[in-house]
Structure 1
Amino acid sequence: MKKNYLCLISRYLLILIEKIPNTMKLTFLFLVISLLTFTAEASAQKVSMFFNNVKVEKVLSAITKQTGLSMAYSKQIVNLDRKVSIQVEDADVALVLDKLVTDTNLSYEIKNNKIYLFEKQAITIATVVLQKKQISGTIVDQNGEPIIGANVVEKGSTNGTITDVDGKFVLEVDNNTLLQVSFIGYIELEVPVKGKSSLQLILQEDTQKLDEVVVVGYGVQKKSTLTGAVSSVKSEQLTIAPVGNVTNTLSGKLPGLITKQTSGMPGSDAASLNIRGFGSPLIIVDGVESSLQNLDVNQIENITILKDGAASIYGSRAGNGVVLVTTKRGINQKPTITVNASYTLQGVTNLAKTASSGQLAQMQRETHLQSGQPEATAPFTAEAVAKFFAGDDPAYPSTDWYNVVFRNWAPQNNENISIRGGSEKIKYYGLFGYQNQETMIKKNGGSYTRYNLQSNIDAVVTNRITLSIDLMAIYDKSKFTGRGIGQGEGIIWQDLYITKPWYPASLPDPNKLAYGGIDVGSVALSSDMDVWGYVLTKNRDIRTTATLVYDVPFVDGLTAKAMINYRDWESYSKNFQKPYQFYTYNQAADLYTLAGGMRSAAQLREDVNFNRQLTQQYSLNYDRAFNQTHHITALALFESIDQSGNNFWASRRDFVTPTIEQLFAGSDTGKDNSGSASEMGRMSVIGRVNYSYKDKYLVEAILRADASAKFAKRNRWGYFPSVSVGWTLSKENFMANISMLDLLKVRAGYGSSGYDYNGNFQYLSGYNIGGLYQWDDDLVSCLIPTGMANTILTWEKMHVYNGGVDFSLWDRILYGSVDGFYRVRDGILATRATSVPGTFGAVTPLENINSSNDRGFELSLGTAKDNGEFKYDINVNLSWARAKWDHYEEAEYADPDQKRQKQLSGQWTDRVFGYVSDGLFTSQEEIDALPYSYVGLGGENKTLRPGDVKYKDMNGDNVLDWKDQVEIGKGNTPHWFYGLTGSFSYLNFDLVAMFQGAAGYSTSVSSNNTAQTYELRWTETDNNSDALVPRLGGAASNLWTSDYWMRSVSYLRLKNLALGYTIPRKILEKVNVERLRVYLSATNLFTLSNLSKYNIDPEVPSGFAAKYYPQQRTISLGVNLSF
């Protein structure tokens, strides 16, 4: 059966590989050969140790470290303090275990990557009790694997036994007693035996008693000993529902991480990441500065964010926090092949409806008449408007351009196959992923395609040397209309709302294109690649890493590590624009009239960018515990990063024919090209020491020194220290009697880091080529000085202060953490608020003179319970953050109103000023009675009419001018961010729901010619002072920045919902399948928002309502298969 699966998968891979570029095919071939080679490794497990009179516990620990096999035993059975002497080199682990159990009543079994230690015979300690009976049973784990050596004891007695190698037990017990079943790392069970003779028991893993390891800077650390503000999310939480981009599955899951998805465009739908409102964080993938863009979510093991001094170990560029991404690696087990496949339908979350012919004609008529123009020149008569609304006259059509151009649902496919396994010598993980995402455009709208390849291999070369070879390759391609489908002006979404609905979408002559009333013809033409042309982009990113770890002899706990990563990525774009013409048609005369066209001939531009990055890290790591009391870890690391890049482009116009889409087909006249190159380098030295006393008192100290080629030699090095402490109060004796308390830990820390994004080599003087100089009658090229050499620039620095508490109560019935932080950012680049004479010959140089601060808090609360058949884990997180200017270099303001509005020093960084509205005028008498005049309207109120916005004279000086503006908004970055995740499972069913939301930010809801504009507008008939759109054609003051248009936004979105069912293991065993789960999932199912009345998504890009590719609502059907 497995062979049949492998054959099917091989065929499937070959079909996909046909679509991949040659470089990716070679990479894939390397992966397959490597995996086949390493899968064939022998399963023998070798160890070397030279112990004399040491505790059994130390021998077991050494076996685990060298083989990767975990230990399973009962402390009641195994005497860990017994002294033994074992001296072997490159011997089978079985030989060591034989020596270990010699002269004892112990035996062992190696099974499922575990070593089980148990008594040779299950011994029942008989108790003389009446009404005894024999009870038998089997104890297994959640995966159905037998648990060897589990303790089975009759409650309240010493009568007990342990399970054998098959997880079975037999025991004579009282008829009305309870059995207590326990094993290290599992939740204890109590089971009544009355009326039973046989038991089938499942022990659930106690995840809270297992010491979870968290990825931190340049290593890992036990979660229980963390002293910094660190949050993490695991793979199973990331793969709830298929997503096009990893960033979109992080929303609401990590306290302190602010995400905002402002586009649903295929391939460009990533959410922006912002930690604590600081700005874009540093992204580290498998230890190397990289990009999160275009990773397959299934290749990720976990994601961790470092928010305070914990990030300072990355020094340069880590001032905004760090996102650590760890990909999956091999494990010591038989190969497991996993296939994930899903089919997704995508539709828009929220999009303003286009106006009908009647609605738009009426609005244009009102705009004309209400602006004081005569009826005779109105664009539409009242009769014509009525005919548009009636819809029964072919001469007065109403085209729904959205339905013409866009579909309600667009398909997306996600498939990937991975293999994971290994032995004690070789561990491997490999993944091949494919994604295809189509646009919402019905006709020739294009698509986005991505391929992911991952190969991580860990090999034990000798008993002291480990070699890891990692390969990651990403290739993506997109092809969309050249008009643009992203966001902004001059794109198809703007065309949608300005194309006139009274024009038909097609003409009787299929060879002629229909005019839609706009300069590009219509949205149907600008969105069609066969008409407009296209932009083709291709991106290739290959990352290769070699890591060598050497276990240094004679110094327990000391390892040396060398890591070299080479990243090579390139991008290519081809923008080909075609000529076309469009017509109107007179049905009565059967006459076509040329209405216009775009371009007289085709034109083409091609761009190519090449980038390279070499990262080298060399380190010494020390990790040792002394007497189970003191634990010291230390790191000394040297890192260098070298980057280089070059690009060039070429273009031609006036193509002979649009059917040849190559540069040679363009005219030599007007051809153009250019190119450039860049280089940059950084060097760092890092030191870190961690100390733990009984995991109770914790200290971490870090010092990082960075050198950047962006600065002159005297300012090149920046030094960034940090220190943090922790105290686990729940381990103190005076807390021992508080039975409800599982964990209580307090943390405090300080960290510093740097920032060097200020342009390259500004400390050098130079010249630019490209200026023109008049020489006689000719213009000749010349050199232009770049300005003064700036040798005083240095590092911008961030200083972060953090305090926090972690807690857990009543066996995690309630758990969580609270953090407060304050960050000072100084040395921000700015120019002095002084002017220099024009004869100076250069602009005022930049200096490190501005400073700001951020403050905020984070709260995470959760509850979890495992009742065997039913489990749940619910977590809610809430964060708030805001920034303020400490010093902002600016002119002195003498006028108090100027100072109030314009002075930034000491003020929040995101203030928005504008006028305060008081509804709309409803009568001319109200306007005439105004005690103040609108200065912006020439000092008179003659142009004001009913339906115009009424503003308040805030300072009471009987003049409405800029002095009346007050703070009306808070920028477009949320101050409040919150999320709620609930995961539930019952038997084989699982349900996950994730809510995400934000509040405390502002956006503009300016009017567009949509159906909502028509419904919400002021009309003379209704004369509603609270109408949400003022008089069409009204006074210029209606468009002033004010709280009439500015909205404080808050929303709550059901971001993910997934329901799954796992086929019972007993059924799957018959077809040799390990796991099969089917699921139905959805994203962005609904949103509660105060912008709903405008049909605007709360994550709309600021200023681009109805001018961007909307966020997508998705429904997916998928399968997870392992065998």
Structure 2
Amino acid sequence: MRNILLNRNARWLVPLLVAPLLILLANSSIAGQTDTRVTGKVTDKATNTGLPGVTVQVKGTNTGTVTDATGTYSIQVTENATLVFSSIGFVKSEVSVGGRAEINVTLEEDTKALDEVVVVGYGTQRKSDVTGATVTIKGDELVKQPVLTATQALQGKAAGVQIISSGQPGSSPVVRIRGTGSAIGGTAALFVVDGVLTDDITNINTADIVNVDVLKDASATAIYGSRGANGVIIITTKRGTAGKMTVNYSGNAGFRMPSYLVPMANAAEYANYASVASGNLVSPGSTSTDWYKQILRNGFQQNHGLSINGGTDKSTYFVSAGYYTDQGLVIDNVYKRFSIRANNDFTFNKHVKAGLSASYANGDNQIANLSSAYNNAYRAAPIIQSKENGKYGNTSVYQNVGNPLLDIEKNNNHAQDNRLLGSAYLEIKPIEWLTFRSNLGGDWVNLNSREYNYQFNNDTTTFINPGGNQRNPNSNLKFINTRTFHWTWDNLVTFNKKFDKHALTVLVGTTAEKYTLTSFTAYRKDVPAAQNLWYINTGDANTSTNDGAGDQYNRNSYIGRLNYSFNDKYLFTATIRADGSSRFPAQNRWGYFPSVGAGWMISNEDFMANQHIFDMLKLRASWGKVGNDRIPTDAYTVTVTPNLAYPFGGGIATPGSAITQIKDPNVKWETTEEADLGIEFTALSGRLTGELNYYNKKSRDLLINVKVPSVTGDADGVVLTNAASIQNQGVELTLNWRGKITNDLSYRIGGNATLNQNKVIGLNGGQPILDGAIGGNQQYTTRTDNGQPVGSFYVLQVLGVFQNDADIGNYKNATGQVIQPSANPGDFKYQDTNGDGKIDDNDRVFAGSYQPKAYFGLNLGLTYKGFDLSADFYGNVGNQIYNGKRAFRQSALDNVERSMAYNRWTPSSGTQTNPAANSGNLPASTYFIESGNFARINNLTLGYQLPGTLLQKVGITTARVFVTGQNLFTIKKYSGFTAELPGFNTTSNAGIVTTGSPTTQGIELNAYPTASTVAFGLNVGF
């Protein structure tokens, strides 16, 4: 911690973190003491359910509180006080205390108000006035799930938002908002946490979140210009409320277990298959090792949060601390996170306000050697034992596969990150309709990773059966330190005034940001095995290798937005943002991103006055442009590669430097243009709400490689330039219904569905992107090309299996040429697509992609007296998966899945589906492509609110116990481990777990197994 605070880039954040803690102590001593403690519950009259987030305030003062997740509250007041109960969308209620200790209140929905406030870019708006496509998810809905980040819990809760999660501890899910809009440039959504722009929220405790607002269309995201091309997710964390200090604890603990493991052949089944495939007799022996059982486990998971909230009419505070651990399913894999947060607001007078937000998070990740161990566990022969008496079974003697257990236990990878995220604002309101706000934010990250590989040889000290090729003759140690610092500074002026039937809001301002990254790597061999000696200076100095890297870029922007409403019927929004980015050459540095939106509140028209179906009906349309500058900072700068050997006369190589790449000096912005048409409604006295959207999004000038003459003139080269276009168009539907059966029994049903079509609509001379290399004969499996979705599978078409020699001889092209003369019975019959009489890469065909044609979510809730039950479902249809692990078989002695062992071709089976026992290394084909359709119970939670009369006796305001399950059941067609694949899982040198690009999604090769979780939890308020 000392080293973090002394970092020069982070010094200015220290007061942001320390000041709120000092103010907390001051506030706790000056909070006013009152005479009577009043408790009670606020319920919704329509559903008879508890209402969370209701403001309970003492009339005429700034003293107040809010109800918890069940609608319960507690407040200290005088005997003659009057309590005011208010919540957006409900009629306000005032109740005199009159000396009572318990006051229960029922609020009636105000269907005419329509004043729900939602967060938009750089401000807030009434939901009824928004002309863009946005969706709000309450933090109370997200905190139910035992997950690391809020985005994981967001899955299935918002139309147009696709969340693809990995089970690997410490990993961030892939977020796609309205499809994939780039192939090489960045595709991640932008996160805005209390005004600070960031690309990662693994440091945010979900229990600290009030709302998550998703901005989906260009009209809503254009205010963020270059950062809004892939959608924006705005996260608002909790802040203090005036009143007596309240303390809340929320936590859960439970176990994670693999959701599904692929059944592998046992020793006898393997020996039978391998004998046929290799042509040599393989004995099953006396050992039958289940390698997945050797490297997987049921992992313990826990998440705890404690918060303190309170203040006066002059200052309020919210302070929290959280601790999260996830053991992971792979042995030796543990992720831990400790986080603290302090949010403060100060009201100096009616003209001046200020506030501070600061959070610190420490992530500690013990990373399993997954890339080799998990893949080897699939391939390793079950006739080799894993470990006995401290010695390992040597699989490499038998086949070219390492012992998966040794892969993990002889490698120690550890990463630790420390992160400070903070902001401070000053708001000046000289007159009622004019506001100036300045917000300064910073995000500082320090990442340290250590990778130690133990020394071991192929001898009897290590292996039961020495020999083979699995060895590490020298221990080695690698240290990597990476530091990033990103600051943003916004200065905004807002004009907000009503003139009779006219309402006008104008926002103008500037925003600036800077990002810097520095990274240093050190490496040495022969470092001692004792962990207390794992330092670079203890290794062999003659093997020392050092390296470094860095990045830096700036942005400067000018923004403006106009919101106009006439008579609460006709709405208009216009936005313009001018963005300057140092990632582009001077002549293309500035991009201009406008948007317009219009809305019609049909329900406010006179002709709707006498109808009793719609409480609110709004039609809206929008158009806008946003940019994307997430390209390499040196994309347009030609650099020189040093230390290249060049042979002069006599064949003597002389070291020198040369230009080895071609770059376009005129690289410009990637631009996304989007049109959106939507209708929103609330009907049947607020019981039914819904939204239907159509969108058409075209991303142009996307970066892609284009062939050009080489700088040496002897071959063709490629240059990265703006030469591609991608289109996403689709429909989103959201419906929610809530009602009650009896006074004690109420329910809610919500669902959403998204239909999306993604395709490349123009390469303009650009080269198709070949990606998804599996290894062996499968150097690529995907092709991003015209008329196809990004990352489409591009493989040979399997027509069946040759049954006999005659079948092989009869397979000819139009000229009578035998197409596969070297084939054997039991081999695949491939389609000669181009008719040239041979099978090669020119015969490949497009065979679908991982991008689903539709994805959906279903959310159910049931409340009976003190009990509550909720269930969330998620799934997608219309996509494909490439079974890369099955395709990666490298030899006849690799293990196989049990289904392959039993269902293979034999002369008597006549199957046209599976080939005969073979040595693997088959070409990429449709045989490895399977349906990616799946539906899953994302979360199932049962809770019980303890009676208030019992709790008051022990000084507790509210308490709820619950049991929750995640990923409890999945229906899928795919035969592999999981149908949810973010892409190749990789762990960077800094220890950050990331996933591959859109062109590698949907390939299962080393995917971390999906986990099912069962946990018990408790929420307590004091």
Question: Shared topology, TM-score over 0.5?
Answer: yes
Aligned with residue 294 of structure 2, among 398, 404, 414 = 404
Match of 2:471 in 1: 598
SS at 1:1067 equivalent: helix
Q: Which residue of 2 aligns with 1:467?
A: 354
After alignment, is 1009-1018 or 715-724 more displaced? 1009-1018
**1:699-718 alignment runs, 5 A limit:** 699-718=572-591
Tell me the equivalent position of 2:495: 622
Residue aligning to 2:209: 300
Counting only pairs closer than 5 Å after superposition, residues 628-1027 of structure 1 correspond to structure 2 as 629-655=501-527, 660-761=533-634, 766-772=639-645, 782-785=656-659, 790-830=664-704, 832-835=706-709, 838-839=712-713, 845-866=719-740, 868-890=743-765, 904-906=785-787, 908-930=789-811, 932=813, 939-951=818-830, 965-969=844-848, 971-1005=849-883, 1007=886, 1009-1020=895-906, 1023-1027=909-913
Task: For residue 1108 of structure 1, give the secondary structure of its aligned residue in structure 2.
Answer: coil
Residue 105 of structure 1 corresponds to: none
Query: Alignment identity in percent?
Result: 25
Which residue of structure 2 lines up, in the alignment, with residue 428 of structure 1?
Answer: 317
Shift in alpha-carbon separation, 1:598–1:722, aligned structure 2, 3 A: same
Corresponding residue number in structure 1 for 2:135: 231
Decide whether the 8 Å contact of 2:509 with 2:559 is kept in 1: yes
Alignment of 1:17-416 (within 5 A): 32-43=21-32, 112=64, 142-143=71-72, 186=90, 202-204=105-107, 206=109, 209=113, 211-261=115-165, 263-268=166-171, 270-278=173-181, 279-290=187-198, 291-308=200-217, 309-369=219-279, 378-380=280-282, 384=283, 388=284, 396-407=286-297, 409-416=298-305
Look at both structures and tell me which one has the larger radius of gyration over its CA atoms.
1
Q: 1:883: Cα distance to partner?
A: 2.6
Contact 2:809 2:821 in 1 (8 A): no
Q: Alpha-carbon deviations, 1:545-603, whole Å to 9, x = none? A: 110000123xx31011111112221111111111124567999xxx9755565222311
Matched, 1:580 2:470: no
Instruction: Note closer, same or farther for the CA distance 1:425–1:772 as it changes in structure 2 (3 Å cut).
Output: farther
Question: What code does the residue aligned with 1:318 have?
Answer: G
Q: 1:493 aligned to 2:422?
A: no
Q: Deviations over 1:777-798 (max 9, x none)?
A: 9977644447678542222211
On the 8 A contact 1:513/1:581 being kept in 2, the answer is no
Instruction: Give the CA deviation at 1:251.
Output: 0.8
Q: Aligned equivalents of 1:712 and 1:763: distance in 2?
A: 7
> What SS is found at the alignment partner of 2:964?
strand
Q: Which residue number in structure 1 is paired with residue 442 of structure 2?
A: 566
| Inter-partner Cα distance in structure 2 for 1:569 and 1:1044 | 45
> 2 CA distance for matches of 1:250 and 1:271?
12
Q: Which amino acid aligns with 1:1060?
A: G
The question of whether the paired residues in 2 share the 8 Å contact of 1:514 and 1:584 is answered with: no
Query: What amino acid maps onto 1:634 in structure 2?
Result: V
Shift of 1:21: 10
Deviation string for 1:45-85 (max 9, x for gaps)?
A: 9xxxxxxxxxxxxxxxxxxxxxx988899xxxxxxxxxxxx
**Distance apart, 1:851 and its partner CA:** 2.5
SS in structure 2 of the partner of residue 1119 of structure 1: strand
Corresponding position: 1:544 with 2:422: yes
CA contact (8 A) 2:56 2:64 kept: no
Q: Secondary structure at the match of 2:847?
A: strand
Name the CA distance, whole Å, in 2 between partners of 1:26 and 1:416: 23
Query: What whole-Å deviation, never above 9, does each CA across 1:706-753 have from its counterpart, x for those lacking one?
Result: 111122333221111110000010110101121111111000001111
Contact residue 346 and residue 412 of structure 1 kept, 8 A:
yes
C-alpha separation in 2, matches of 1:744 and 1:813: 14
The alpha-carbon deviation at position 419 of structure 1 amounts to 1.2
Alpha-carbon separation, structure 2, partners of 1:586 and 1:142: 62
Task: Give the direction of change, closer, same or farther, for the CA distance of 1:437–1:787 in structure 2 (3 Å limit).
Answer: closer
Q: Determine if contact 1:399/1:503 at 8 Å carries over to the other structure.
A: yes
1 or 2 for the larger relative contact order (CA 8 Å, sep ≥6)? 2
Distance 2:89 2:787 in 1: 54
CA distance in 2, matches of 1:44, 1:219: 35
State the secondary structure of the residue aligned to 1:415: strand
1:803–1:640 Cα change, 3 Å: same
| SS in structure 1 of the partner of residue 171 of structure 2 | coil
Instruction: Tell me if the contact between 2:599 and 2:621 (Cα under 8 Å) persists in the aligned partners.
Output: yes
Would the alpha carbon gap of residues 361 and 430 (structure 1) be closer, same or farther in structure 2, given more than 3 Å must change? same
Give the 3-state SS of the residue equivalent to 1:890 in structure 2: coil
The unaligned stretches of length 5 or more in structure 1 are: 1-16, 46-67, 74-92, 95-109, 115-140, 149-162, 169-180, 190-198, 370-377, 389-394, 894-900
- Residues 274/1062 of structure 1: CA separation in 2 closer, same or farther (3 Å cut): same
**Residue 933 to residue 673, structure 1, CA distance change in 2 (3 Å):** farther
Q: Deviations over 1:1035-1071 (max 9, x none)?
A: 98xx344433322321101111111001011211111
Aligned-partner Cα distance in 2 for 1:564–1:716? 24
Shift of 1:473: 1.1
Report the AA paired with residue 39 of structure 1: S
- Aligned to 1:315, what secondary structure does the other structure show? helix
Q: TM-score, normalising length from structure 2?
A: 0.83
Q: Is 1:526 matched with 2:407? A: yes
1:304 partner amino acid: D
Paired amino acid for 1:339: Y
Secondary structure class of the residue paired with 1:527:
helix
Pick aligned residue for 1:1033 from 918, 921, 931: 918
Determine if contact 1:860/1:876 at 8 Å carries over to the other structure: yes
Q: Deviations over 1:602-634 (max 9, x none)?
A: 11111111111221111101222233x322111
Per-residue deviation, 1:837: 6.3
Q: Which position in structure 2 is the counterpart of 1:515?
A: 394
SS in 2 for 1:580: coil
Tell me how far 1:846 sits from its aligned partner: 4.2
1:25 is displaced (CA, Å) by 12
Number of residue pairs matched by the alignment: 935
Q: Which structure 2 residue ranges, 5 or more long, are not aligned?
A: 8-12, 35-53, 94-101, 182-186, 769-781, 890-894, 984-1000
> Residues of 2 paired with 1:265 and 1:892: CA distance?
34
TM (norm. structure 1) is 0.76
* AA at the equivalent of 2:604: K
Per-residue CA deviation, residues 954-1011 of structure 1 (Å, 9 max, x unaligned), is: 7889877767654321x22223111111122111111111000011221123536344
CA distance 1:211–1:1065, shift in 2 (3 Å): farther
Over aligned residue pairs, what C-alpha RMSD do you find? Answer: 4.0
Which of residues 441, 448, 458 in structure 1 aligns to 2:345? 458
Amino acid of the structure 1 residue aligned with 2:757: R
Measured in 1, the distance between the counterparts of 2:466 and 2:519 equals: 45
| CA-CA distance at 1:205 after TM superposition | 5.3
Deviation digits for residues 412-432 of structure 1, max 9, x if unmatched? Answer: 111111112222211111111
